[in-house]
Structure 1
Amino acid sequence: MTDASRPARVTRLGPNQYGKAETRVVRIVRDGATHRVKDLNVSVALSGAMDDVHLSGSNATVLTTDTTKNTVFAFAKRHGIASTEQFGIHLARHFVTSQPSIHRARIRIEEYGWERIAAPGAGGGEHSFVRTGQETRTTEVAFDGGGWQVVSGLRDLVVMNSTDSEFWGFVKDPYTTLKETHDRVLATEVTARWRFNWTDEGRPAPDWDESYGQARRHLLEAFADTYSLSLQQTLFAMGSRVVENRAEVDEVRLSLPNKHHFLVDLEPFGLKNDNEVYFAADRPYGLIEGTVLREGAEARIPVTD
């Protein structure tokens, strides 16, 4: 077939990325007999001048995913892990600045918490740990050679108010069976992400650990302090509390599944259920999601990814 008779291409390459997902790295800092643990799950996604590898199979511009895995391990030793954000910044900067073909790096990190079984000085207290049963800390760092975007957050933070929650006045149609209530259990499993307005290394970076701890505190305090007429109202209060109190945060995105607690009918047993015994249903569940922005800021955290 001659070039003149070859059919025109009817497809083109769209956005693409590649990397190594979920590299599990544990860094133990041994300060004499006292040890400290950082336990991370790191995913690297790289993009840039990658047309040839897709269109012709040429690997000339491809940094292997195995190399990205090895870099995670080497950087855990070389730079340590002071915070998930700083570790992600080290990795993203390295990939973009060391390889001409890589124009953008996105680093996603989950951090799993460990706490000491006993106080230092007690038997095993310096080096014995138990995985905490609370939230998982999350971080996403993106770098394109010019500007940064850092989004931190948490997931799996389960909270509950046993009262001070109502739900009534909603739309009713022929399929509505839910009864209005003026005293209900409000429970959810918080997934929260917040975007920092730090984008330039010419500016001082936030104290990442301090910011995380304070954002988490404000989320919890807002949940506890809000007399809730809807989970949407609680969501806005939680996001607003973070933005109002943390000048380094411009955007908070929250995903709050409603962990329904239904009163059990105890009348067949001759018992009165005075808001005391509930059935905790795991599915289906209402899923409430929303974004709270600083006035003048733009939404940049995706609803889904």
Structure 2
Amino acid sequence: MKFTLGSNGYGKAECRLVRVERDSARHVLTDLNVSTRLSGDLAATHLTGDNSGVLPTDSQKNTVYAFAREFGIGAIETFGIALASHFVGENEQIHRARVTIDAYSWDRVGDHSFAKTSGEVRTAVATVTEDGAWITGGLRGLTLMNTTDSEFHGFPRDRFTTLRETSERILATDVAARWRFGTLDVDWGPAYAAIRESLISAFVETYSLSLQQTLYAMGARVLEKVPEVAEVRLALPNKHHFLVDLTPFGMDNPDEVYFAADRPYGLIEGTVLRDDAPAEGWAWSS
């Protein structure tokens, strides 16, 4: 019986990195979670235990911290590309490096004081190979709600259907979005701000007959406003709010009192992409 080693890789997961810029009395705080993954000519370590081509994961962790000190961080997309390019460029046995970064937000409450009040996370994945590089950005934990202008009706019914049709409901979701850029020539900070604003404004302005309709409107708005983006992928859990029956207490409930259910929930997923998006789905450097 014969066996073959399939695709493989290794890296250092979840390197917690906090950097404080102290160039002035008004400090700048960056809070990241960085993971690395390397792949390439690594068969020997799997088949014979020969580690001569294995850059230790501890070295990868140290590189993350050293780069943060020597070069700073700046945009997380730029930081990810720099790290991934280093791993491929300095290790001939490594043909592909992927750096995944989560950036946590802190609200400034003073020149050197911060409060963590939001669960929203900005993300970036930088991938570098011997032939090129690409970036996917994203966010998660963006919670949105419309208290009206949402309906859901006209769906098929079978013998297990109990859901009532409605022309008035709360629509709420926790946005998890990923997008891929068609170029590396991007002003990352303003692009992220424009993408986030596009997601929010489309959610707010869409009179929704289904969460699917809202999803498409959100993705299309990003592509309309940010031409560097080639594709948007969205996962929108439907955070159900059910009207409470108060008739046992002799009370009416004119769409005012709801029960917020955390599970189970509908999960709506979809991709919106440009007609001329590259077939490979990645943005390659020249």
TM over 0.5: yes
1:32 matched to 2:24: yes
For residue 108 of structure 1, the aligned residue among 75, 82, 100 is: 100
Q: Please report how far the alpha carbon of residue 134 of structure 1 lies from its aligned counterpart in structure 2 after TM superposition.
A: 4.5
Alignment of 1:278-297 (within 5 A): 278-297=258-277
Q: 1:145: Cα distance to partner? A: 2.0
Q: Tell me, yes or no, if structure 1 residue 213 matches structure 2 residue 205.
A: no
Q: Distance in 2 between matches of 1:263 and 1:191?
A: 26
TM-score (norm 1): 0.90
How far apart are 1:92 and its partner, in Å? Answer: 0.5
Report the AA paired with residue 57 of structure 1. G
C-alpha separation in 2, matches of 1:196 and 1:174: 45
Provide the C-alpha distance between the structure 2 equivalents of 1:168 and 1:300, rounded to a whole number of angstroms.
35
Give every structure 1 segment of 4 or more consecutive aligned residues whose post-TM-superposition deviation is greater than 4 Å. none
Give the distance between the partners of 1:130 and 1:163, measured in 2 at CA.
Answer: 32
Match of residue 121 from structure 1: none
Other-structure match for 2:145: 160
Q: Which of 116, 126, 134 is matched with 1:149 structurally?
A: 134
Report the structure number with the largest CA radius of gyration: 1
Secondary structure at 1:273 match in 2: coil
Shift of residue 31, structure 1, vs aligned partner = 2.0
Q: Find the aligned partners of 1:181 and 1:149 in 2 and give their Cα distance.
A: 44
Q: Does 1:175 align with 2:160?
A: yes
CA distance in structure 1 between the partners assigned to 2:129 and 2:200 by the alignment? 34
Kindly provide the CA deviation profile for residues 237-259 of structure 1, in whole angstroms up to 9, marking residues without a partner as x.
Answer: 00000011111000000000000
1:258 equivalent in alignment to 2:238: yes
Q: Which of the residues 28, 38, 51 maps onto 1:46?
A: 38
Residue correspondences, number: 281
- Return 5+ residue gaps in structure 1 as ranges: 1-8, 118-124, 200-204
Letter in structure 2 aligned against 1:233:
Q
Give the AA of the match of 2:238.
N
Q: Is the 1:48–1:102 contact (alpha carbons within 8 Å) kept by the matching residues of 2?
A: yes
CA distance in structure 1 between the partners assigned to 2:117 and 2:86 by the alignment: 32
- Structure 2: 5+ residue runs without aligned partners? none
1:274 to 250, 254, 263: 254
1:93 is displaced (CA, Å) by: 0.4
Contact in 2 for aligned 1:48/1:101 (Cα 8 Å)? yes
For 1:299 and 1:177, how far apart are their aligned partners in 2? 43
Task: Report the Cα distance in structure 1 between the residues aligned to 2:262 and 2:281, rounded to whole angstroms.
Answer: 31
CA contact (8 A) 2:106 2:118 kept: no
Identity %: 57
Equivalent-residue separation in structure 2 for 1:98 and 1:172 (angstroms): 60
Matched, 1:85 2:70: no
Q: Higher RCO, 1 or 2 (CA under 8 Å, sep at least 6)?
A: 2
TM-score (norm 2): 0.96
Instruction: Provide, for residues 44-97 of structure 1, a one-character-per-residue CA deviation record: whole Å limited to 9, x for no partner.
Output: 000000000001110010000000000000000111011110100110000000
CA deviations on 1:124-180 (whole Å, 9 max, x unpaired) are: x21010113141000001110221120001000000000000000001000000000
1:3 corresponds in structure 2 to none
| Distance of 2:243 and 2:281 partners within structure 1 | 40
Give the alignment partner of residue 2 of structure 2, picking from 7, 10, 17.
Answer: 10
CA deviation string 1:257-287 (max 9, x = no partner): 0000000000001111111011000000000
> Partner residue of 1:5?
none
The residue aligned with 1:245 is: 225
Which residue identity is paired with 1:245?
A: K
Note the aligned Cα RMSD (angstroms): 1.1
8 Å contact from structure 1 (residues 148, 198) kept in 2: no
Equivalent AA in structure 2 for residue 166 of structure 1: E
> Is residue 187 from structure 1 mapped to residue 192 from structure 2 by the alignment?
no
Any conservation in 2 of the 1:293–1:299 contact (CA below 8 Å)?
Answer: no
